[in-house]
Chains A and B, each alone.
Chain A
Amino acid sequence: MTATLTPVLSRTWGEDRSWTREVYERFDGYQGLRAALAKAPDEVTQIVKNSELRGRGGAGFPTGNKWGFIPQGGDKPVYLVVNADESEPGTCKDIPLMMASPHELVEGAIIASYAIRATHAFIYVRGEVVHVLRRVQAAVQEAYDAGYAGTDILGSGYDLEIIVHAGAGAYICGEETALLDSLEGRRGQPRLRPPFPAIAGLYASPTVINNVESIASVPSILRHGAKWFTDQGTDNDDPRKRSKGMTLYSLSGHVMRPGQYEGPMGLTLRELLDLSGGVREGHELKFWTPGGSSTPILTDEHLDVPLSYEGIAAAGSMLGTKALQVFDETTCVVRAVLRWTEFYAHESCGKCTPCREGTFWLVQILRRLELGDGTDEDLEKLLDISDNILGRAFCALGDGATSPITSSLQYFRDEYVAHFEHGGCPFDPARATLFATSQGARGR
């Protein structure tokens, strides 16, 4: 049976000038905001709790609960910070969302701010995507002009300022506490927790930080109700073991039709490949990431694992951002892992020793291995260093750096060994490219 796609966040993306308020409103835009303003803020939070929406930025924390942690009635202002720093390798959903329908995010941000009684909402957009920044800037301006932001929003008495802020190139700023430091005008380095941002976040005030897709999912929940959302996704009697709602799956790499696929939580990679024409012609799946490079790789054994928080966890990985990077048999796993590891070493903020030193040494060893100069001992050393980083690093960047290494050694140890037995890499990188002329260039 073929799975069915359910475009909600992506419903307007194919429209002419979809980024404008005019088009967005033709597709029920800002109806969620009107519905929210007719309720008390706590009621809005309760609806989001009931929807069981979980954070789409990687960790899957229940969004409504996060909002509920904000202490109310204190004398400090409350802030909303939208994490639009999308930089996890493989992750490419928030950027196209903001390019095509920035109002979905802006509306969600206003609703979320109202629910937590925030005075300011910040949208922290990674700097390296200037046109996306323009679209978000323009959408915020349009929202002000229409009375959806600023003072006395739609006559409700609620005031909100929205600030669009551009980052300046640093993967670590996607980590929520590093993002806060960056937004305060500092080097983006993670903070010690506790205190958690809900208690002492931006300017030491109560702060909610949410991913773009999490926030953009909120208007539809307000329009249709929590049950509409929980009717989609996976089921289990234990609420912690189910994943609800629709989500964006990002398919990339050696597939016939890479792109954004919006469907209920819990589709499988096989279903998505069946829908989209499969792995590129004449080739077969070798390995894939379920949610970016920080999530352990999986193989063709895992094609039928539901892409849900609990499903992927049971398979020994993490759902992460649902960034499905697909690699076929022409790809050298050692090369792939080396490149990811170089990325982590480059992006390590240097604050803690296990990550700063560990990623450096992992790169040295992997380079040796790729050149064919490695030994069995090197493989043990990789695992040993990974073991010393995992759980000992100050933030999840360090943990993530070990994922490609330990998972690739679990599934493809032979390929590492082949490198040093063969005296170099046995793969021809030309065959893996998009423009490979040999059999099976991607058709479209």
Chain B
Amino acid sequence: MTYDIEVRDRLEVDAKEIIARYPRRRSALLPLLHLMQSEEGYVSPNGIELAAELLDITTAEVAAVATFYTMYKRRPNGEYSVGVCTNTLCAVMGGDQIFSTLKEHLGIGHDETTDDGRVTLEHLECNAACDYAPVMMVNWEFFDNQTPESAVGLVDDLRAGREVRPTRGAGLCSFKQVSRVLAGFHDGRADEGPAAGPATLAGLEIHREQSSAGRRRRTTEDSSDTDRAAAPSDGPDPRQGQSAHDAPAQTAESDPANTAAPTGDEDGTA
């Protein structure tokens, strides 16, 4: 079986655009497989055949690549891929309990899909969000700091078609739509969602407390200690308006691991 003419034509137009991005054709293979997945929700034999034809390589070569990467599905995926990070840190912080709760609640195991076709459950490796552990991903959007209860609520909402929003990300798209973004077709949703969550901003906030504590100190005591904290002369002054963000304090000559900046008073740094 092959694709309908209409589907094939459409995929071919997109595929040509992908191939044109790269100096060499074969580099287009990973995005092409994402594109095929955006059509059928998995990398089907049809998709493998078309990718092989477009890149002028064998289907065996395409299949060897498709099976190497975990994001390419061999069976139709549910509308939502629900992943639970069970790498060590998330597992210890509760990811194991979340995953086993979901398995029981949904009655399915790893890489299985609910009968209604809504949810495919997976356990994931570290998704680079350990400061938000335990972490879940739905269609590759972040759901931070989950609990077994919040996870059950999440999958129930997904199955009932209620709106759910990622902690950091755009409004949820279907698995197929997301696969298209992965193929390199921007969907215009970059401006949705926040810049960062609270953990991402933790250091920045403490720095602000430090600097305002430093400022307070500077107005009350004119110590030479504070003067030494001046920013390098070729950089902006950390205490002046907009550029404050960009200039680290100088390190002390005697103790380079420590800065000579104002240390902040007790209440300012706790």
Chain A residues in the interface with B (C-beta under 8 A): 1-8, 10-20, 26-28, 77, 86-92, 94-96, 99-101, 120, 126-131, 133-135, 137-138, 141, 163-171, 182-188, 203, 220, 223-225, 227-228, 231-235, 246, 249-254, 257-264, 266-268, 275-277, 293, 306, 308, 323, 325, 327, 331, 335-336, 339-340, 343, 346-347, 429-430, 432-435, 444
With an 8 Å Cβ cutoff, the count of chain B residues facing the other chain is 100
CB-defined contacts of B23 to chain A, threshold 8 Å: 77, 120, 203
Q: Which residues of B contact A220 (CB under 8 A)?
A: 246
Q: Report whether B130 and A325 are in contact in the complex, using a CB–CB cutoff of 8 Å.
A: yes
Given A27-B245, A259-B203, A276-B202: A235 and B256 within 8 A (CB)? yes
Contacts of B264 in A (CB 8 A): 2
B83 to chain A, nearest CB (A): 8
A182: chain B residues at CB < 8 Å are 30
Q: How far is the CB of A385 from chain B (nearest CB, A)?
A: 20
Given known A135-B190, A231-B232, contact A261–B129 (CB-CB < 8 A): no
Looking at the assembled complex, report how far the CB atom of A266 sits from the nearest CB atom of chain B, in whole angstroms: 4
Residue of A92, A168, A183, A263 with highest tally of chain B CB at under 10 A:
A168
How many Å from the CB of A270 to the closest CB on chain B? 11
Cβ-defined contact, A27 with B246, below 8 A? yes
A168 touches B33 (CB 8 A): yes
By a CB distance below 8 angstroms, the chain A residues around B116 are none
B166 at the A interface (CB under 8 A): yes
Contacts of B65 in A (CB 8 A): 185-187
Q: Are B131 and A92 in contact (CB under 8 A)?
A: yes
Residue B164 at the chain A interface, CB threshold 8 Å: no
Separation in Å of the B161 CB from the closest CB of chain A? 21
Q: At the interface, yes or no: B125 with Cβ under 8 Å from chain A? A: yes
25 contacts between A and B (CB under 8 A): A4-B248, A4-B261, A4-B262, A5-B207, A13-B195, A27-B242, A92-B131, A94-B128, A100-B200, A126-B128, A134-B186, A137-B184, A163-B21, A163-B22, A185-B55, A203-B23, A228-B234, A231-B251, A277-B270, A335-B92, A343-B125, A430-B97, A432-B93, A433-B97, A434-B147
A3 vs chain B, min Cβ distance (A): 6
B203 and A3 contact, CB distance less than 8 A: no
Known: A339-B88, A432-B93. 8 other contacts (CB 8 A): A6-B247, A8-B245, A128-B140, A185-B28, A227-B232, A258-B202, A260-B202, A435-B148
Pairwise interchain contact B186-A435, C-beta atoms closer than 8 A: no
Identify the stretch in B4-12, B67-75, B215-223 within 8 Å (CB) of chain A at 4 or more residues: B67-75
Q: If A130-B141, A259-B198 touch, does A171 touch B234 (CB 8 Å cutoff)?
A: no
The residues of B that contact A266 with a CB separation of less than 8 Å are 256-257
CB neighbours of B190 from chain A (8 A): 19, 131, 134-135, 137-138
How near does chain B come to A159, taking the closest CB pair, in angstroms? 13
**Which residues of A lie under 8 Å from residue B262 when comparing CB positions?**
4
B168: chain A residues within 8 A (beta carbon): 99, 131
A99 to B191 alpha-carbon distance, docked (Å): 11
Contact of B257 with A268 in the complex, beta carbons under 8 Å: yes
Known A-B contacts A258-B199, A260-B199; A165 and B30 likewise in contact (beta carbons under 8 Å): yes
Chain B residue, CB-CB nearest to A262: B203
The answer to whether B94 has its CB under 8 Å from any CB of chain A is yes
Nearest CB to that of B249 among chain A residues?
A4
Report A-chain residues with C-beta under 8 Å of the C-beta of B28: 185
Q: Which of A14, A92, A224, A259 is close to B234, meaning CB atoms less than 8 Å apart? A: A224
Total A-B residue contacts, Cβ distance less than 8 Å: 338
In the bound complex, what is the Cα–Cα distance between A94 and B129 (angstroms)? 10
C-alpha gap A227/B233 in the complex (Å): 10
- Assess whether B181 is in contact with A130, with CB atoms less than 8 Å apart: yes
A31 CA to B204 CA in the complex, in Å?
22
CA distance A218 to B127 in the complex (A): 26
Which of chain B's residues 59-111 have a Cβ closer than 8 Å to chain A?
64-65, 68-72, 83, 86-89, 91-94, 96-97
* CB within 8 Å for A128 and B71 given contacts A259-B199, A260-B203: yes
The residue among A141, A250, A259, A262 with the most chain B CB atoms within 10 A of its own CB is A259
Contact of A264 with B64 in the complex, beta carbons under 8 Å: no
Most chain A C-beta atoms within 10 Å of own C-beta, residue among B26, B86, B129, B248: B248
Are A253 and B128 also in contact (CB < 8 A) when A131-B168, A434-B133 are?
Answer: no
Contact string against A for B residues 30-54, beta-carbon threshold 8 Å, 1 for contact and 0 otherwise: 1101100000000000000000000
With A5-B207, A187-B65 in contact, is A131–B263 under 8 Å at CB? Answer: no
7 nearest CB pairs, A to B: A6-B248, A259-B202, A11-B245, A185-B29, A168-B69, A261-B203, A259-B199
Which residues of chain A come closer than 8 Å to B184, judged between CB atoms?
A: 137, 164-166
Closest A residue to B150 by CB, please name it.
Answer: A435
User: A77 to nearest B CB, angstroms?
Assistant: 7
Chain B residues within an 8 Å CB radius of A435: 94, 147-148
| A327 to B89 Cα, complex, angstroms | 8
Q: State the CA gap A5–B263 with chains docked (Å).
A: 10
Known contacts A6-B248, A92-B130, A224-B235; A253 and B89 CB within 8 A of each other: yes
Question: For residue A292, which residue of chain B has the nearest CB?
Answer: B126
Whole-angstrom distance between the alpha carbons of A337 and B80 in the complex?
31
Contact A13–B196 (Cβ < 8 Å): yes
A397 to chain B, nearest CB (A): 13
Asked whether any CB of chain A lies closer than 8 Å to the CB of B158, the reply is no
Q: Is the CB of B94 within 8 A of A17?
A: no
B139 located at the interface, meaning its Cβ lies under 8 Å from any Cβ of chain A in the complex: yes
Q: Which residue of B lies closest to A246 (CB)?
A: B248
- The answer to the question of B259 belonging to the interface, with a C-beta cut-off of 8 Å to chain A, is yes
Q: Bound complex: CA of A251 vs CA of B178, how far in Å? A: 30
Known A13-B196, A187-B68, A433-B94; judge A134-B210 contact (CB<8 A). Answer: no
* Alpha-carbon distance A444/B202, docked complex (angstroms): 11
The CA of A275 and the CA of B213, in the complex, are separated in Å by 13
What residues of B have a CB within 8 angstroms of the CB of A231 in the complex? 232, 250-251
**Bound-complex Cα distance A231 to B70 (A):** 44
